């Protein structure tokens, strides 16, 4: 559980303790004088609020004990109204986290549909296979190593990497399984981004290896830097771990993962696509083969993003504050996505393209990425501004990567995730307001963003974070992909790519193209001439009819 939840929980417990004290005095048989009642309430509130200071000075492990972990049962005391309220709050927060984890996991379906629709039809089974196995590998590697590297804090704090809780050993006394599930879904998301960038020519074995490396080591280290209680970029560093020293006195605000998730996945994909080289043939002319899948996948991703951003509150029952925060996060997420989608739609049209579903979908995703770091710390108008700028960043990053660098990033993964992820960190540094920082329970000093007259420290830390994440991912993933390429383990053979990776590696294509049966056009309300026109225009516009007969499973 991330440290920010401590402040919300402790505040709720203070209210619960006061309520319990008043109940004990006013209940039948609890004849307390007015002075005694007042004193009991004051003492209960004082004791509960003391937990706020203790939690803010504690490690992630100590936090669970103070909040009455069901595994330890050390606090609050068993029995009584206060304990029952606290236990109910924890149960409701666990349910909230499980629901949001499932939403984030369902984003895998969105990625699968977007990628399957965007690649050529001869690579559909391959890309779906990779998306299917992505959360499988992520689950095992994050369980074995990833969680320990990310959150395995110790008595001797390490600002770079965690060093315990591998295979979740001794885990139950300090954290919840719901939180592990939530963190695993994030790790799987980071790895899925890569598959879209290297689609249609990357060997399946290479996918296995980069997925394990990314989710088991590269991504968790960045998590430790930014989200643990000990990381050098963390805005949640505690006094027990590093004497309360925040980087540049503020730490880096990345509420839901612009840098941690999207920059890591987007840059890894960019590096992989660069080392792989472009697809054979005139790859710049290759287009989406199934627009409905791309559109449907975008809707699924947008829905899942509510779990991604709103779930990063980690609490829903910490009084009005946490539920209000989750609601506000949902609104800023919607506004950024909407403004970016509309802006992207018009930008590409003005650049000479036809009205494009694909560009609009990527614009929506760019807005979702661009607000992820700042969704809890900015006002609604700033989310709209940030979304508009996200569309411009996506547009020109896509042109830069493909036309200037000549890198065949099939799904514009780098433009959407890496470049807009960088912008998202800057949004938080520019537009964070003091009121929003307080609502999100960021610790003091709550220095505002540069736009609100802040000192510029937040912007400086964001730049440092961008440079550190970029350097780390490049230092690991570039040699890794180059080694695979040198060993002939990265790219499929030219003949396999031309014939279609599904036929050569998956035993057959996912579905086959066929012209409409002329006899079918004469049935129902279609006249023969109308059927012929439909067939003609269908072919001209690149549309297909799917054969109802399953494709052969043999090459």
Which range is least confidently modeled, 1-5, 80-84, 148-152, 375-379? 1-5
Indicate if 69 and 130 belong to the same structural domain.
no
Indicate the Cα dihedral angle 358, 363, 368, 374, nearest 10°. Answer: 160
Q: Please check whether residues 452 and 539 belong to one and the same domain.
A: no
What is the 3 state secondary structure string of 248-312? HHCCCCCCCCHHHHHHHHHHHHHHHHHHHCCCCCCHHHCCCCCHHHHHHHHHHHHHHHHHHHHHH
| 3 state DSSP class of 545 | strand
DSSP 129-159: HHHHHHHHHHHHHIIIIIHHHHH---SS--S
pLDDT over threshold 50, residue 23: yes
Query: Is residue 78 assigned to a domain?
Result: yes
Reading the block at residue 517, the tokens are 């049966």
Query: From CA 399, how far away is CA 155, in angstroms rounded?
Result: 48
Indicate whether 427 and 457 sit together in one domain: yes
Q: What percent of the chain has pLDDT over 70?
A: 76
Domain-embedded: residue 231: yes
- Average pLDDT (506-523) is 66
Same domain? For 363 and 443 the reply is: yes
Residue 7 reports pLDDT greater than 50: no
pLDDT band per the 50, 70, 90 thresholds, residue 106:
very high
Question: What integer is the mean pLDDT of 479-491?
Answer: 97
**Per-residue model confidence (pLDDT) at position 554:** 32
Residue whose pair of structure tokens reads 């000990």 in the numeric block:
230
**Higher-pLDDT residue of 555, 317:** 317
Of the listed ranges 108-122, 144-158, 509-523, the least confidently predicted one is: 509-523
Q: Is the pLDDT of residue 308 over 70?
A: yes
The last residue of one of the domains, among 442, 461, 494, is: 494
- Whether residues 82 and 117 share a domain: the answer is no
Q: Say which DSSP state 122 is in.
A: G
- For the chain, what is the domain count? 3
- Residue 514 clears pLDDT 60, i.e. is over it: yes
Same domain, 55 and 131: no
- Confidence label for 29 from pLDDT (cuts 50, 70 and 90): low
Q: Residue 53 above 50 pLDDT?
A: no
What is the per-residue pLDDT for 320? 61
List beta partners, residue 491.
202
- Determine, yes or no, domain membership for 501: no
In a domain, 538, yes or no: yes
Contacts of residue 246, defined as CB under 8 A and 6 or more positions apart, other chains included, come to 234, 235, 237, 443
Q: Is there a domain that residue 166 lies in? A: no
What is the Cα–Cα distance from 538 to 433, expressed in whole angstroms? 52
Residue 503 lies in a domain: no
The pLDDT tens digits for 414-441 are 999 999 999 999 999 999 999 999 899 8
pLDDT tens track for 247-281: 888 899 999 999 999 999 999 999 999 999 999 98
Compute the average pLDDT of residues 313-335: 88
Helix H or strand E encompassing 546: strand 545-546
Cis peptide before 186 (omega within 30 of 0): no
Instruction: Say whether both 381 and 459 belong to one domain.
Output: yes
Q: Which residues contact 267 (CB under 8 A, 6 or more apart)?
A: 414, 418, 469, 470, 473, 474, 477
Using the predicted structure, report yes or no on whether residue 158 has a pLDDT greater than 90: no
pLDDT score recorded for residue 323: 87
Distance CA(173)–CA(254), nearest Å, equals 27
Predicted confidence at residue 74, as pLDDT, reads 45
pLDDT at 505: 86
Whether residue 227 sits in one domain with residue 95: yes
* Mean predicted lDDT score pLDDT of the chain: 82
Provide the CA 113 distance to its chain's centre, in angstroms.
17
What's the CATH code of the domain at 276?
A: 1.10.3430.10
Show which of 88, 103, 136 is a domain's final residue.
88
pLDDT digits (tens, 9 = 90+) for 528-547: 343 444 344 333 333 333 33
34 and 115 housed in the same domain: no
Instruction: Locate all alpha helices (DSSP H) within 373-441, ordered by sequence.
Output: 380-399, 413, 420-431, 434-439
Positive or negative, the CA dihedral 243, 244, 246, 248 is negative
Residue 73 predicted with pLDDT over 60: no
Q: How far is CA 121 from CA 115, 291, 409, in A?
A: 11, 12, 17
pLDDT at residue 12 tops 90: no
Residues 134 and 188: beta-carbon distance below 8 Å: yes
Q: Per the domain annotation, does 115 fall within a domain?
A: yes
Shared-domain flag, residues 311 and 399: yes
DSSP 184-221: HHHHHHHHHHHHHHTTTTB-HHHHHHHHHHIIIIIHHH
Q: Tell me the residue range of the domain where 390 lies.
A: 89-157+176-494
Q: How confident is the model at residue 22 (pLDDT cuts 50, 70, 90)?
A: low
Alpha carbons 538 and 126: distance in angstroms, whole number: 26
Q: Would you place residue 338 in the very low, low, confident or very high pLDDT band (cuts 50, 70, 90)?
A: very high
Q: What is the pLDDT confidence band of residue 37, given thresholds at 50, 70 and 90?
A: low
Chain segment 365-395, per-residue pLDDT in tens: 999 999 999 999 999 999 999 999 999 999 9
Q: Each residue of 177-219: pLDDT tens digit?
A: 999 999 999 999 999 999 999 999 999 999 999 999 999 999 9
- Asked whether residue 100 falls in the same domain as residue 241, the answer is yes
User: In which residue are the tokens 């924890």 written?
Assistant: 90
Cα–Cα distance between 544 and 538 in angstroms, integer?
7
Q: Are 116 and 291 in contact (CB under 8 A)?
A: no
- Residue pair 410/199 in contact (Cβ under 8 Å)? The answer is yes
Those residues with Cβ within 8 angstroms of residue 519's Cβ, 6 or more apart along the chain or in another chain: none
Higher pLDDT, 74 or 526: 74
Least confident of 201-205, 394-398, 521-525, 549-553: 549-553
CB 236 within 8 A of CB 229: yes
- Of the residues 27, 60, 88, which one is the last residue of a structural domain? 88
On the question of pLDDT at 76 being above 70, the answer is no
163 located within any domain: no
For 176, other C-beta atoms within 10 Å of its C-beta total 21
Could you tell me if 399 and 271 lie in one domain? yes
Report the Cα–Cα distance between both ends of the chain, in Å, rounded: 48
The Cα 449–Cα 339 span in angstroms is 22
- Please state the pTM of the whole predicted model: 0.82
């Amino acid at each position: 559980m991330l440290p920010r939840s401590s402040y919300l929980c402790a505040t709720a417990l203070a209210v619960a303790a006061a309520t319990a004290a008043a109940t004990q005095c006013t209940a039948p048989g609890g004849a307390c004088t007015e002075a005694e009642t007042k004193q009991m309430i004051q003492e209960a509130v004082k004791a509960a609020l003391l937990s706020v200071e203790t939690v803010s000075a504690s490690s992630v492990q100590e936090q669970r004990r103070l909040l009455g972990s069901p595994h330890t049962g050390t606090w609050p005391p068993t029995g009584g109204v206060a304990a029952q309220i606290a236990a109910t709050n924890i149960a409701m927060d666990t349910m909230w986290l499980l629901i949001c984890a499932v939403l984030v996991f369902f984003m895998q379906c969105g990625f699968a549909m977007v990628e399957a629709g965007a690649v050529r039809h001869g690579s559909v089974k391959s890309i779906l296979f990779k998306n299917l196995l992505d959360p499988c590998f992520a689950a095992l590697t994050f369980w074995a190593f990833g969680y320990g590297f990310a959150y395995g804090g110790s008595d001797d704090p390490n600002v770079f990497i965690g060093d315990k809780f591998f295979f979740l050993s001794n885990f139950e006394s300090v954290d919840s399984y719901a939180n592990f599930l939530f963190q695993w879904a994030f790790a799987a998301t980071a790895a899925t981004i890569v598959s879209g960038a290297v689609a249609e020519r990357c060997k399946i074995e290479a996918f296995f290896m980069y997925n394990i490396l990314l989710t088991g080591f590269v991504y968790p280290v960045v998590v430790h830097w930014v989200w643990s209680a000990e990381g050098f970029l963390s805005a949640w560093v505690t006094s027990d771990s590093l004497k309360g020293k925040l980087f540049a006195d503020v730490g880096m605000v990345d509420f839901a993962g612009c840098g941690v998730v999207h920059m890591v996945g987007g840059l890894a994909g960019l590096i992989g696509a660069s080392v792989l080289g472009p697809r054979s043939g005139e790859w710049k002319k290759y287009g989406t083969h199934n627009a409905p899948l791309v559109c449907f996948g975008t809707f699924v991703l947008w829905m899942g993003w509510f779990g991604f951003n709103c779930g990063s509150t980690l609490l829903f029952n910490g009084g009005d504050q946490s539920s209000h925060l989750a609601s506000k996060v949902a609104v800023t997420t919607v506004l950024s996505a909407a403004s970016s989608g509309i802006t992207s739609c018009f930008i590409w049209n003005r650049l000479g393209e036809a009205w494009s579903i694909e560009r609009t979908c990527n614009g929506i995703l760019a807005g979702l990425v661009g607000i992820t770091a700042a969704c809890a710390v900015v006002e609604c108008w700033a989310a709209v501004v940030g979304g508009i700028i996200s569309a411009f960043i996506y547009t020109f990053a896509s042109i830069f990567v493909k036309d200037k660098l000549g890198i065949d990033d099939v799904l514009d993964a780098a433009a959407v995730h890496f470049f807009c992820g960088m912008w998202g960190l800057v949004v938080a540094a520019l537009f964070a307001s003091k009121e929003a920082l307080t609502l999100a329970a960021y610790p003091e000093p709550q220095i505002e963003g540069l736009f609100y007259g802040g000192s510029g420290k937040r912007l400086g830390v964001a730049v440092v974070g961008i440079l550190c994440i970029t350097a780390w991912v490049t230092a690991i993933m570039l040699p890794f992909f180059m080694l695979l390429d040198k060993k002939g383990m990265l790219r499929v053979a030219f003949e396999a790519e031309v014939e279609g990776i599904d036929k050569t590696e998956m035993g057959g294509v996912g579905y086959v193209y066929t012209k409409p049966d002329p006899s079918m056009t004469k049935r129902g309300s279609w006249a023969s001439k109308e059927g012929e026109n439909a067939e003609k225009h269908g072919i001209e516009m690149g549309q297909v009819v799917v054969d109802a007969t399953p494709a052969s499973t043999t090459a």
